[in-house]
Amino acid sequence: MNSSSSSLNSFYSSLARGIDGLDRSASPHLLCLQFMQNSLSLLRSTHTQLTQLVKRLHLPAGESWLDEYMDESTRLWEVCDVLKLGMSGMENYCTNVTHMVSLVEDLIRNGDSIHSHIGRQVARSITGCRREAISLEEENRVLAETRLDMLPLQQSDEVYPTESRLNGFNGFRGVLYAMRSVSSFLLTILTWGLVHWWPCSGPSFNGMSSFGSAYMTSIERLHQRVRIEIEQTAERPGILLYEFQIVRALIQELERNGSDRLEMNEKVNGLKIWIDLLRNGCENLVGQLDDLFDEIVEGRKRLLDLCSNR
């Protein structure tokens, strides 16, 4: 086996291990922040591995392989930009919920009535946070429908490319197809969790295992787990992120039980924990997205320099 074939096999094996590792790391609630962070980490790793592999494939300068990579990295960048935009409203949401929690704690600590001035302020703040969650989901729906319609997550070329096409440019096209398959899957998960999910959205990965690659089998298996969870928990379109849904549900319960001080105290204690998890997790994801943008810029520069030096 020559060095190029060994490098290709290593890349494909790494993809399968990455998806299997993501599957094993998943908690009972798949669409949670930890799963989102692991998915984004795998997306970054896949892109980095591809750009590092190019040098070992001895690709000819001035050929279309570079244009094909540029097209795919542009798609990756633009979908990740949608993810970042979709999360931008989450920071304000977390800030307002934290302020509302502080008001409720003041109400409980001072023993004020829900009908007092502070009580009425608390009631308005709780209602405002509930409405803000609705507004955030609506803004993300519009964002997803306008931007992602122009950036389809599914692959644009044939579903199952021919072996001769996959072998093009010393196997680079097969590698690029594999990265596109994995990134389409991961971007779909990230979009559903962080931006917007709606019935029948995203690409279909059914039947991928028949294509014969281990990473395809791994994608299909994990995709089925995600689909099952959505079917069991998602009652309407929106942001599926588990921590966001928990915070939203606690606020609704707080609004319903606003006159019961014991219930309010219990819900507020829960909210403090979950809103911290939500805020810190989203900050981590935004940081990872920024790192990915830097890595795409560096990857493009590396490949351009590689061509210029040949």
Question: What's the pLDDT at 303?
Answer: 92
102-116: per-residue pLDDT in tens?
999 888 888 766 667
Question: What's the pLDDT at 113?
Answer: 61
117-138: per-residue pLDDT in tens?
777 888 899 999 999 999 999 9
Cα angle 17-18-19, degrees, rounded to a multiple of 5: 95
Confidence of residue 306 (pLDDT cuts 50, 70, 90): confident
25-67: per-residue pLDDT in tens?
888 889 999 999 999 999 999 999 999 998 888 888 877 899 9
Tell me the pTM.
0.90
Residue 134, SS3 per DSSP: helix
- 2 DSSP 8-state letter: -
The yes-or-no verdict on residue 150 having pLDDT over 90 is no
Alpha helix positions (H), the chain = 3-25, 33-57, 64-110, 117-143, 163-166, 172-194, 214-233, 242-256, 261-308
Confidence of residue 161 (pLDDT cuts 50, 70, 90): low
Domain boundaries, the chain: 3-180+209-308
Residue 11, SS3 per DSSP: helix
220-236: per-residue pLDDT in tens?
899 999 989 998 888 88
